[in-house]
């Protein structure tokens, strides 16, 4: 469903009216286009502590316009406020800020930039996870980065986003994958997130096809977010296997044929679903995306047992049972990736969704609990928690609630299935193996459950 308000707010009359009435004025977000190679098309500014050198060392693979600000003279051109170009991307290493009085460097670095950001600019702050620091004051300073970055993300205009990445031991040289995602339009609808990155043993070989040679299963792939995930994984080189219920066979087969993949028609709640799935995957699988999901909304007072059971069965029980079966049978190979489609309802709660929110929170818990157990096999398991995404599922929401869902975020609009798909594709990469047990929100920094 299209968002007519964005069209209106970006028309010449609408723009003036929206401004005069003080209404939200969401901009059209820049998104990744097929055939694009460079993650950053425009100026990348790098500054801050010692990790800035690590970023500079890989920066020419991100863009050919590299600037530095506030650091020692480096190979990059110095950026001068008011004279330098508008900035499309910014990386600031704050990992060296270990005392309260050093935090002012955040203000000193970012303040001159704020009026010099390009449309849909992507900002990243690097730090060290507070729980890994023994000095309480240092841990407190690094935790302060979280409040700073989430607030600054809310102040960005024109489609800007900002994330904080806590870089773990041994991961200093593994920033390329996350920066390719978080500095590019692939993360157009991700903002205000705090990410914990650990070291990963398996690097990406070819950034143009990071999933080459990998087999990916996507459930609920006939339409909506699942279809977009299948397309994006195929774009990134994966061989895709699409699964959906038998009534969706025609759409599923057509998409599988277009992507050069194959299809499986199966109800994931069927009693023999696990056995059937294993039979369909004799050569194993590297990436499993549990996307199939349903809503049956009612306040708890009116919730029928059927509504409750159906949602818990599809959204939570099936991913649990199928993942366990794929692991136990060895069908899910070492260094595999499991990605669970949760929801911000599972973080914030949502009126009329006790069943749905319970199922989605359960998925986040599943990722957290299973991650350390799968570490040894190099398998990562993460949840992706979308906010309001424009699909058939959200098209059925009553008008008032739908509008509220769209506008109640820093980006003031709903996301597209592609936004969720890009996050899943990043988590599916070999080099993202150390990002595990986490929930990545794709919600435009929704105010719900932030």
Ligand X SMILES: NC(=O)c1ccc[n+]([C@@H]2O[C@H](COP(=O)([O-])OP(=O)(O)OC[C@H]3O[C@@H](n4cnc5c(N)ncnc54)[C@H](O)[C@@H]3O)[C@@H](O)[C@H]2O)c1
Residue 141 or 264: which CB sits closer to ligand X? Answer: 264
- Residue with structure tokens 């100026």? 43
The answer to whether the beta carbons of residues 196 and 435 sit under 8 Å apart is yes
Q: Which residues bind ligand X (CB under 6 A)?
A: 219-220, 222-226, 244-245, 248, 267-269, 291-294, 314, 341, 343, 386, 388-389, 391-394
Please give the Cα distance from 333 to 323 (Å, whole number).
12
Query: Annotated catalytic residue: which of 5, 67, 69, 356?
Result: 356
Residue 168 or 224: which CB sits closer to ligand X? Answer: 224
The answer to whether the beta carbons of residues 230 and 240 sit under 8 Å apart is yes
Size (the chain), residues: 450
Residue 186 or 441: which CB sits closer to ligand X? Answer: 441
Tell me the closest approach of the beta carbon of residue 357 to ligand X, in angstroms.
Answer: 11
Tell me the closest approach of the beta carbon of residue 309 to ligand X, in angstroms.
Answer: 12
**Per-position b or e across 273-309, b if 16+ CB within 10 A of its CB:** bbebbbebbeeebbbbbbbbbebbbeeeeebeeebbe
Contacts for 66 with CB less than 8 Å, ≥ 6 apart: 43, 44, 46, 56, 59, 60, 76, 77
Asked if 356 is an active-site residue, the reply is yes
Contacts for 153 with CB less than 8 Å, ≥ 6 apart: 160, 161, 162, 163, 191, 192, 410, 445
- Residue with structure tokens 């047990």? 437
Tell me the closest approach of the beta carbon of residue 407 to ligand X, in angstroms.
Answer: 14
HSE (side-chain half, CA atoms, 13 Å) at 242: 32
Tell me the closest approach of the beta carbon of residue 4 to ligand X, in angstroms.
Answer: 18
Give every strand in the sheet of 332-341, ordered side by side.
262-265, 239-244, 215-219, 285-290, 332-341, 380-386, 439-442
Please give the Cα distance from 40 to 37 (Å, whole number).
9
Residue 378 or 444: which CB sits closer to ligand X? Answer: 444
- DSSP run (H or E) holding 285: strand 285-290
Residue 118 or 297: which CB sits closer to ligand X? Answer: 297
Residue 68 or 394: which CB sits closer to ligand X? Answer: 394
* Nearest residue to ligand X, scored by beta-carbon proximity: 293
- Cα 210 to its chain centre, rounded Å, is 17
Tell me the closest approach of the beta carbon of residue 58 to ligand X, in angstroms.
Answer: 33
Tell me the closest approach of the beta carbon of residue 376 to ligand X, in angstroms.
Answer: 29
Catalytic residues, which ones? Answer: 356
């Amino acid at each position: 469903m299209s968002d007519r308000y964005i069209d209106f707010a970006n028309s010449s009359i609408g723009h003036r009216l929206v401004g005069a009435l003080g209404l939200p004025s969401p901009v059209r977000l820049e998104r990744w286009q097929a055939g694009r190679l460079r993650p950053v098309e425009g100026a990348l500014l790098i500054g801050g502590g010692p990790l800035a050198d690590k970023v500079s060392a890989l920066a020419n693979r991100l863009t050919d316009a590299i600037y530095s600000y506030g650091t020692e003279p480096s190979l990059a051109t110095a950026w001068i406020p008011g004279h330098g170009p508008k900035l499309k991307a910014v990386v600031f290493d704050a990992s060296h800020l270990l005392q309260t009085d050093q935090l002012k460097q955040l203000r000193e670095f970012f303040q001159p930039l704020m009026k010099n950001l390009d449309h849909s600019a992507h900002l990243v702050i690097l730090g060290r996870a507070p729980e890994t620091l023994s000095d309480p004051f240092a841990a407190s300073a690094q935790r302060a980065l979280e409040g700073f970055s989430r607030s600054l993300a809310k102040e960005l205009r024109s489609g800007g986003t900002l994330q904080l990445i806590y870089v773990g031991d041994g991961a200093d040289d593994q920033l390329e994958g996350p920066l390719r995602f978080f500095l590019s339009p692939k993360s157009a609808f991700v903002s205000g997130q705090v990410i914990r990155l650990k070291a990963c043993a398996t690097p990406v070989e070819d950034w143009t096809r990071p999933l080459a040679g990998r087999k990916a299963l996507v459930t609920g792939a006939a339409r909506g977010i699942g279809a977009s995930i299948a397309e994006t994984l195929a774009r990134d080189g994966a061989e895709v296997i699409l699964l959906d219920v038998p009534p969706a066979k025609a759409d599923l087969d057509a998409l599988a044929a277009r992507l050069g993949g194959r299809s499986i028609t199966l109800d994931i709640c069927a009693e023999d679903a696990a056995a059937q799935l294993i039979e369909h995957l004799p050569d194993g699988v590297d990436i499993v995306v549990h996307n199939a999901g349903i809503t049956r909304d009612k306040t708890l007072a009116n919730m029928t047992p059927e509504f409750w059971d159906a949602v818990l069965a599809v959204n939570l029980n099936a991913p649990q049972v199928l993942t366990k079966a794929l692991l136990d049978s060895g069908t899910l190979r070492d260094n595999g990736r499991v990605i669970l489609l949760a929801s911000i309802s599972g973080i914030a709660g949502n009126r009329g969704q006790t069943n749905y929110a319970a199922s989605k929170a359960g998925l986040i818990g599943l990722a957290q609990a299973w991650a350390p157990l799968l570490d040894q096999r190099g398998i990562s398991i993460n949840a992706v928690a979308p906010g309001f995404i424009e699909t058939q599922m959200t098209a059925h929401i009553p008008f008032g609630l739908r509008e509220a869902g769209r506008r109640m975020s820093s980006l003031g609009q709903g996301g597209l299935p592609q936004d969720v798909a890009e996050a899943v594709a990043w988590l599916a990469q070999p080099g993202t193996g150390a990002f595990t047990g986490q929930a990545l929100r794709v919600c435009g920094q929704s105010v719900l459950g932030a």
